[in-house]
Every structure is written in C-alpha cells, then in structure tokens.
Amino acid sequence: MSARAAGTFLTLSILLSSVAQILFRLAMQHLSLTGDDPVSVVAGLVSNDAVTELAPLAIGVVCYVVSMLCWIFALVRFKVSVAYPFISISYVIVYAAAVLLPVLNESITWRSLLGIGFIVAGVCLLARQGRQNSGKAIS
C-alpha cells in the first residue's frame, strides 16, 4: 500500500470517527438511565423517536465501522506510534462541533479546554518515544 493511500485511509478514519461521535451523542442525549431496571432502559431506547434518534444512531454505527476498517488499513503502513497522534485531532473536531452545533449546544469551560490540551499533548508525547526507540515497523 502506498503512503498516499494509507494517508487517505488515516484521514478518512479520523473524519468518520468524529462524525460518528457527534451522531452518537445526538442519538443518546435524551436517553435516561434513571430507572434502575435495565429492561426499562432498553425499552426507553427502543421507543426513541425513529427520525431524530435511531437514524443518527444507525448512520453513526456505519461511520464508526467504516472508520475502524480505514484505521486497520492505515496501520498496515503506519506504525501505531505515528498514527495515534492523529486520533487526538478528532477530540478537537468533536469538541468544536459539539460546542458549535445548536442541536448539541455543549458548554465551553476553561477546565475542559485545559483538559483537552493536556490530553492532546499527552497522546503526542506517548507516541513520540515509540517512534524514536522502536525499530519494529509493521510495514
């Protein structure tokens, strides 16, 4: 597989997994787990409005599965240590989308922005050492 093809799979994987997360939250945000009884939770899920909740769930699952396949194909060429930092880009995409989309309308807090910064930096550092030290390329 060429580096370009693998790069395309990697990009697709990141974009599709971001879209999937937004759709998942869209589908799940009104589900209540307040009943202690799991049966009522499942009943609540099934009785959800088909258009506004089950459709995003179904499309989200498809995006997620395709993104997972793209990720595996990207890993054929790239080491995990090279590919992983790209995942943290999807945290930023999802955060921005969830805050900006009126239908989700999530809050921006300094603490969560700081948290995302730490996590993105941490993922990049965690991957970097592997790239320097590990001679075990998969490709």
CB of 10 to other proteins, least distance (A): 13
Closer residue to other proteins, CB minimum distance, 28 or 66: 28
CB of 51 to other proteins, least distance (A): 18
Would you say 77 and 6 are in contact if contact means Cβ atoms under 8 Å apart?
A: yes
Would you say 29 and 104 are in contact if contact means Cβ atoms under 8 Å apart?
A: yes
Closer residue to other proteins, CB minimum distance, 43 or 124: 124
Residues that bind other proteins (CB under 8 A): 1, 21-22, 24-25, 27-29, 31-36, 41, 57, 61, 64, 68, 71-73, 75-77, 80, 84, 87-88, 90-91, 94-95, 98-99, 104, 106-107, 109, 111-112, 114-130, 132-134, 136, 138-139
How far are the Cα atoms of 18, 92, 119 from residue 112, in angstroms, in the given order? 18, 11, 10
CB of 139 to other proteins, least distance (A): 5
CB of 98 to other proteins, least distance (A): 4
Return d(Cα 5, Cα 116) in angstroms, integer: 29
Among 64, 58, 2, residue whose Cα is nearest residue 26: 58
Two tokens, residue 45: 């899920």
